[in-house]
A and B are shown apart, each in its own frame.
Chain A
């Protein structure tokens, strides 16, 4: 069973993949909220700026962005570590797609809720933070779950800028052993397993968030 000997190297690669994916999701989520809220609540200048960011990063291909940051930017004197480049580009991608999710969820909160907030004389910021966002976040979770899995899959592209992630390790092992079927099957299964874990985590978060709103602690009093 030769493939057992691949496992340590692949596992190391999987760790890098996991780290890059999680970092990109975390940073991307912040960007998504900033840009999404800017789209809905910002003045004309701010929301246009956010729209440009969203369209730019949704409209150009991720691999192009990655190579652009990796090969082109250093030529004008801006360069990062490969890992930082990978995380940055993925995060910008998550932020752009996520901002659409945030915007959609914010605008889907019912008008009646906003009217109730106004009748209680809430300010704009307070309405956003305490009325709109808590309700919108629950609506965002399924879409963010899909985006997280998308990010995990797309993180494989960082292997092309020489980051030793799971795909990169698989390539190295194949070049060494020429056992394509074994290595790539294992790698696919590895990604699949990580996707399943991510899905499970997102589902738990969603269940927890929904329970908070509908069935609080005092439910059984």
Chain B
């Protein structure tokens, strides 16, 4: 029994049906973790991208190194690092937040590159015009650059979001009770892993297919959405 639901292992089908509610509870955790992680990645990535373009060499160089390091080391180890090391410095976060933070950190390395590509695609003349209008650097980003790059970077961001959803099961190793963790726990108690794990796989497959279809649609709609692409 789990969350008040009991399982019925008579046949694979009844078994699947009886544990579906439990798995779906896990799905909500999975989606929340991905949403929180992606929000962090979007903000942090933008910060990295702007620091990367800083006028001070030392700032841009340091940022480049940090981003490269985050991108080239495994999420799992970063997760362990945050989970075990942060408390040593007196910062004890709930496992869910630690997990979201780790996802956000890893993916901020990817999103910062997407932002950078988008920013570099804004013609130099736009920056010069903003300077000529005496806008501050911050205003230029907020009013000129960001609105222009949004439609350009959305597809790539969407792909990374899908990729992040598929990486959330890793959070189960630090006791986050996502789909994967629950499926494993059911498996441990019933000694029958095939059905719960297959269900988790199928749910991920459905999620990915829906997201890809949505992204595809988005790409077709975007240029018509009123933000000129060129």
Q: Indicate whether A15 reaches chain B with its CB closer than 8 angstroms.
A: no
Number of A-B contacts (CB under 8 A): 116
Shortest A190–chain B CB gap in Å is: 9
Q: Indicate whether B18 reaches chain A with its CB closer than 8 angstroms.
A: no
Q: Indicate whether A121 reaches chain B with its CB closer than 8 angstroms.
A: no
**Chain A contacts with B in 51-105, Cβ cutoff 8 A:** 55-56, 58-65, 67-68, 71-73, 75-76
In the bound complex, how far is the Cα of B167 from the Cα of A63, in angstroms? 8
Cross-chain contact A153 with B75 (CB below 8 angstroms): yes
> Which residues in A have their C-beta under 8 angstroms from that of B58?
none
Q: From the candidates A180, A181, A188, name the one contacting B69 in the complex (CB within 8 A).
A: A188
Cross-chain contact B193 with A75 (CB below 8 angstroms): yes
Cross-chain contact A60 with B204 (CB below 8 angstroms): yes
Cross-chain contact B74 with A191 (CB below 8 angstroms): yes
Q: From the candidates B75, B77, B187, B208, name the one contacting A58 in the complex (CB within 8 A).
A: B208
Q: From the candidates A59, A63, A153, A174, name the one contacting B72 in the complex (CB within 8 A).
A: A153
Q: From the candidates A60, A62, A174, A191, name the one contacting B84 in the complex (CB within 8 A).
A: A174
Cross-chain contact B77 with A188 (CB below 8 angstroms): yes
> Which residues in A have their C-beta under 8 angstroms from that of B119?
none
Surface stretch bound by A, among B2-10, B129-137, B147-155, B194-202: B194-202
In the bound complex, how far is the Cα of B169 from the Cα of A73, in angstroms? 19
In the bound complex, how far is the Cα of B202 from the Cα of A191, in angstroms? 31
B-contact 0/1 string along A144-182, CB 8 Å cutoff:
000001001111110110000001001100100000110
Q: Pick the most buried of B168, B170, B209: most chain A CB atoms within 10 A of its CB.
A: B170
A-contact 0/1 string along B71-109, CB 8 Å cutoff:
011111110110011001000000000000000000000
Q: From the candidates A61, A71, A188, name the one contacting B166 in the complex (CB within 8 A).
A: A61
**Chain B contacts with A in 178-216, Cβ cutoff 8 A:** 180, 184, 187, 192-194, 197-198, 200-202, 204-205, 208-209
Q: Indicate whether B173 reaches chain A with its CB closer than 8 angstroms.
A: yes
Closest to A159 in B: B76
**Chain B contacts with A in 156-174, Cβ cutoff 8 A:** 166-170, 172-173
Q: Pick the most buried of A68, A149, A159: most chain B CB atoms within 10 A of its CB.
A: A68
Cross-chain contact B72 with A191 (CB below 8 angstroms): yes
Closest to A17 in B: B74
Q: Indicate whether A184 reaches chain B with its CB closer than 8 angstroms.
A: yes
Q: Indicate whether A195 reaches chain B with its CB closer than 8 angstroms.
A: yes
Cross-chain contact A180 with B85 (CB below 8 angstroms): yes
Q: From the candidates B72, B77, B197, name the one contacting A195 in the complex (CB within 8 A).
A: B72
Cross-chain contact A64 with B201 (CB below 8 angstroms): yes
CB-defined A-B contacts under 8 Å, sample of 16: A60-B205, A61-B167, A61-B201, A61-B204, A64-B200, A68-B198, A153-B72, A156-B77, A174-B80, A180-B84, A184-B77, A191-B74, A192-B69, A195-B72, A195-B73, A196-B72
Top 9 closest pairs, chain A to chain B, by CB:
A195-B72, A180-B84, A156-B74, A59-B208, A71-B193, A59-B205, A72-B194, A60-B201, A184-B81
